[in-house]
Amino acid sequence: MSANSKAPNIRRLALDIVSRCLDATDGEGGYSNILIDSAMRRWDLPDRDGALLSWLVATVLERRITLDHIISQLSSRPAEELDPGVMSALRLGICQLRYSDRIPAHAAVNETVGLVRPSARGFVNALLRAYLRKRDRLSFPGPGDAGYLSVTYSVPEELCSALGDAYGDVTAESILKAYLRVPALTLRTNTLRLDRDGLIARLAARGISAEPCADSPCGLRLAPGSGLPDEVNDGLAYVQDESSQICADVLGAGQGDRVLDACACPGSKSFYAAIAMKDRGAVVSCDVHASKLPLVAAGAARLGIGIISTVCRDSSVPAPEYAGAFDRVLCDVPCSGLGAIAGKPELRYRAASRIAGLPELQYSILSACSEAVRPGGTLVYSTCTLLPEENGRVVERFLGTHPDFAPDPFRRGSLEAPQGTLTILPDQVRDGFFIARLSRRTGAGS
């Protein structure tokens, strides 16, 4: 931001980002983390303002259904009759009043009123002040009541039911609780340059606390509230959730291997494989979006990796030139993202629209890329979602039509997959993930 630029209104920025995430008619609105990062760079926001912007956006998105339940009890007008901008402003105001112990009530009310057009200010002011008077007398559904999980954890009832059908009510509620956690910043050490203990010691010398990840041999988790350390910009580490690291580790890449990463962007699993290979061999990183591939190339350069090449291609279509050419193939396919909701809260509201058609695409990618695996080689299928129709059922269908592949059991740390498949449920420290490792039988044709 230039010296002559006017400082932005942080709440107005938050309102704009929330509206773009929630009000898209096609169910594919902006991603909050990308929009927040863009706003912070554009305005060169100081840390305090950036933290407030991030908190406001994340909390409104995480709690939208709960906030709407509250608004419905305070407003004489049905929510569907309210202007979308007014509705978003009300969510923003009540979010501050209900979930922040640092923002004074008068500031939350006054600042929110100032966000709406003059003709709506009286209504917004009255509703927010009604909340302050009645907040201890509001009603919420209790356990066993219709809508309890949805209102309590701010997740659409359709998704609550899907998780309940897949995992049972108790585990489903545990998953929903995990969706409300504040994601920790997790790094993968660049062991081309130093080991994990060395990185932890380097961070500690600068007052940054970190601890090793439980099931990823090169991962570490920073203390809550830690910002992005200089070590990432310096190429000594990169950001990668522990579950994603475990997936890349299960691929088992070693020195001299040829590895195909079929849906690579933004590149973290390609980086993991290349580092595990000690930068010896070849990693081909593919993506259907050419505009994303420079992120992979830039990340590899920052980390000092020289064996990654990028290719723009649709991995759901077989590539004859790749037939039998790779030792290890990773299909981390497009999915509904339901394991990663803690970091992308808007995904909870898009689940139904995102799931339609995904299993067919996922199967097509897995089938097409399986042709690239050499006899005796390894094929890994993974998602960051939790629904059986995107996970186990895709693998079962594939095995039923590809008799030259078989499940390949594995174990990583405390996680064991005796049947070759593993579902990692989201918890307080990592995202949800599904991993299946398959091997191509020796003697299979290429």
Active-site residue set: 384
Contact residues for 404 (Cβ-Cβ < 8 A; gap 6+): 440, 441, 444, 445
Annotate 254-277 with DSSP letters as a single string.
-TT-EEEETT-TT-HHHHHHHHHT
Kindly report the CA angle at 184 between 431 and 176, in degrees rounded to 5? 45
59, burial (CB in 10 Å: exposed 0-12, middle 13-18, buried 19+): buried
Contact status, residue 222 vs residue 185, Cβ threshold 8 Å:
yes
Question: 373 - beta bridge partners?
Answer: 326
Backbone angles phi, psi at 366, to 5 degrees: -60, -45
Distance CA 444, CA 139 (A): 63
Distance CA 378, CA 392 (A): 18
Distance CA 19, CA 190 (A): 38
Distance CA 278, CA 168 (A): 43
Contact status, residue 188 vs residue 238, Cβ threshold 8 Å:
yes
Cα–Cα distances (Å) from 228 to 47, 94, 238, in that order, read: 12, 30, 10
Q: Tokens standing for 415?
A: 């996680």
Torsion angle of C-alpha atoms 314, 243, 172, 223, degrees rounded to 10: -130
Contact status, residue 244 vs residue 160, Cβ threshold 8 Å:
no
Annotate 178-227 with DSSP letters as a single string.
HHTS-PPPEEEE-TTT--HHHHHHHHHHTT--EEE-SS-TTEEEEPTT--
